[in-house]
Amino acid sequence: MTRKAVSAASPANELSFPFNIRMLLAGWKALYLREGPLQPDSNRSAEWNRGRYLVEGLSHCGACHTPRNRLGGEKKDEYFAGAEVENWTVYPINANSPAPVPWNAESLTFYLRHGWHEHHGASRGSMAPVTANLGSIPEADVRAIAAYVSDVMGHPSQARIARGEAALATARKESDAPFAMRTNSTGNGVGEAIFLSACQGCHDGRRPVPFGGLNLHLSSAVNAANAQNIINVTLFGLPAAKGEPSAIMPAYHGVLNPDQLVALLDYMRDRFSDQPAWTDTRERVTATMSGEREVPIYRMDGTTQAPPETSMRTTPWP
Amino acid sequence: MAVNLTVNGKTHRVDADPETPLLYVLRDNLELNGAKYGCGIGQCGACTVMVDDEAVLSCVTPVLLLKGRRVTTVEGLGTLEKPGPMQQAFIEEQAAQCGYCIPGMMMRAQALLQADPSVTEAVIRAHLEPNLCRCGTHMRIIKAVMRAGALMRQNSQGGGAT
């Protein structure tokens, strides 16, 4: 031998008990690992089957979007019913999607590929790395994923479609006349004052997503089960991607105290959502501001695909 | 409408709508022109000042949020005759070209160093990320902040004024 043998011990396992006992995984796998190839559904299109294959396998959307039981297994009877992961609220992507404008295969494809959609906002939090990655895989695969997921969401009811149209109409009206937001005062005091002075400037919808903030009539976050995501982005902002243009939002933790943030959140829920008021906002605000709820901050890597036409003209200057 | 605001240790009663961003009150009402309007939407950092111990973007901070809070601007870091360590460091490193981003840089760095004057360059780079510089003065700014940290550590050891 021309080389001396090297002793390279594997690093010690750093997982806490009982996760450091590899043998125990056998039990977990017996309960939750389904082995074998996914059988295509012959009643469905090739695209749908490809989508299901990707969603159930490599994309593993359910890893975040399906709630888990105490042993960490996905609850199959609550498929895509949403969950809370790393103190970010992961929305349901089944029939209970909180998006005011219902998703369809086309909007989902665009969103997953570009990291933003004019009717839904920008991909942020733990979703940012997902769209960052999906932006670089073949478009046909993203279409397939979108086809499958939108099928799981199901076709929205007429009532739901109508509500979506109404939300869009309100958002358009507000972008055309930004001070219309002011004249529709709900008299909600400090929450309204904070929103109009600190948030509306970007969030009135006059600058389209991803350049400007989403008009919140279109916001899933405002219609979600709790305020956690809005708490996260308001306190910590949305840091820009490194080295590439991306969406961005400033952080407000230096200027908001808990009472002010709670007032702001209550106002937003009241104004932009038809759903009943959140009940755990103060607990979440206090816990997030103290650090008890630890929130990982993700860069906006998922939004680096700017809209196709920015300042470049595509028609002759006359 | 009258609003009370404590800036650089002094309480002012300013005639401003409570929804007015702090930046406008600082510049128009109090003539503290250090903080600059760069973008107005919290994306460039030229408006950075301190509220209590944190660096904030004054262009997106309405004064109604600041009851009972202490605002510090670059003017509060020292005077021409007696510059504070941050100002001294920036002068010694000649860390400015057009100078527009500099007060914001200084205030963000001040918040960082006040919390821990011995931070490394990597930490300084990460913390200054919200502040943009179009002239490319970044290297000198970083050197100045490192120097300010050294001055602050020196002062606290020697018992000098900060």
Tell me the per-residue pLDDT of B87-128, one tens digit each, with 9 for 90 and over.
Answer: 999 999 999 999 999 999 999 999 999 999 998 999 999 999
Q: Does A256 reach chain B within 8 Å, measured CB to CB?
A: yes
Record: contact A198-B129, CB cut-off 8 A: no
Backbone angles phi, psi at A84, to 5 degrees: -125, 120
Instruction: Tell me the HSE value of A4 on the side-chain side, using a 13 A CA sphere.
Output: 3
> Residue B53 carries which side chain, given as an amino acid letter?
D
Record: contact A190-B64, CB cut-off 8 A: yes
Could you give the angle at which helices A139-153 and A105-114 cross, rounded to 10 degrees?
A: 130
Which pLDDT score is estimated for A259? 96
Q: How many helices (H) and strands (E) does chain B have?
A: 5, 5
Which pLDDT score is estimated for A1? 72
Is the bond leading into A210 cis (omega within 30 degrees of zero)? yes
Cα B160 to the chain's mean position, in Å?
21
**What distance in Å separates the CA atoms of residue B141 and residue B96, rounded to the nearest whole number?**
8
- Is it the case that residue B46 has pLDDT exceeding 60? yes
Q: Read off the pTM.
A: 0.91
Record: contact B41-A256, CB cut-off 8 A: no
Tokens describing residue A12: 């010690």
Mutate to test the interface with A, among B19, B61, B65 (most CBs of A within 10 A): B65
Distance from CA of A254 to the nearest CA of B (A): 6
Which pLDDT score is estimated for A174? 85
Tokens describing residue B84: 């504070």
Could you give the angle at which helices A281-290 and A228-236 cross, rounded to 10 degrees?
A: 40
Instruction: State chain B's mean pLDDT as an integer.
Output: 95
Residue in chain B lying closest to A190 (CA): B64
Residue in chain A lying closest to B40 (CA): A201
Q: Does A190 reach chain B within 8 Å, measured CB to CB?
A: yes
**What distance in Å separates the CA atoms of residue A195 and residue A268, rounded to the nearest whole number?**
8
Instruction: Answer for the pair B152, B162: CB distance below 8 angstroms, yes or no.
Output: yes
Using CB atoms, which residue from A194, A197, A250 is nearest to B42? A250
The domains found in chain A, sorted by start residue, are: 42-153 (1.10.760.10), 169-290 (1.10.760.10)
First-last CA distance in chain B? 36
Please, which residues have CB within 8 angstroms of residue B3's CB and are 6 or more apart in sequence? B13, B14, B15, B16, B18, B25, B63, B64
**What distance in Å separates the CA atoms of residue A191 and residue A269, rounded to the nearest whole number?**
11
- Give percent of chain B above pLDDT 70: 98
Instruction: Answer for the pair B13, B3: CB distance below 8 angstroms, yes or no.
Output: yes
Chain B positions with Cβ closer than 8 Å to A: 18-21, 40-43, 51-52, 54-57, 60-62, 64-66, 69, 129-130
Instruction: Tell me the HSE value of A196 on the side-chain side, using a 13 A CA sphere.
Output: 23
Which pLDDT score is estimated for A302? 78
A17, burial (CB in 10 Å: exposed 0-12, middle 13-18, buried 19+):
exposed
Q: What is the pLDDT along chain A (318 residues), one digit of tens a residue?
A: 789 999 999 998 888 888 888 898 899 899 988 888 999 999 999 999 999 999 999 999 999 999 999 988 999 999 999 999 999 999 999 999 999 999 999 999 999 999 999 999 999 999 999 999 999 999 999 999 999 999 999 999 999 999 999 999 999 988 887 655 565 555 558 999 999 999 998 998 888 888 899 999 999 999 999 999 999 999 999 999 988 888 999 999 999 999 999 999 999 999 999 999 999 999 999 999 999 999 999 999 877 666 655 566 667 777
Residue A238, beta-bridge partner list: A249
Would residue A121 be called left, alpha or beta, if left means φ above 0 and alpha means ψ between -120 and 50 degrees? Answer: left
Which pLDDT score is estimated for A25? 87
Please, which residues have CB within 8 angstroms of residue B68's CB and are 6 or more apart in sequence? none
Distance from CA of A250 to the nearest CA of B (A): 5
Residues A141, A154, A229: CA angle, nearest 5 degrees: 80
The domains found in chain B, sorted by start residue, are: 2-76 (3.10.20.30), 77-158 (1.10.150.120)
Residue B72, beta-bridge partner list: B50
**What distance in Å separates the CA atoms of residue A262 and residue A26, rounded to the nearest whole number?**
46
Record: contact A197-B21, CB cut-off 8 A: yes
Instruction: Answer for the pair A119, A220: CB distance below 8 angstroms, yes or no.
Output: no
Which pLDDT score is estimated for B1? 79
Record: contact A254-B51, CB cut-off 8 A: yes
Residue in chain A lying closest to B127 (CA): A239
| ipTM, 2 dp | 0.92
Distance from CA of B68 to the nearest CA of A (A): 11
Please, which residues have CB within 8 angstroms of residue A290's CB and are 6 or more apart in sequence? none
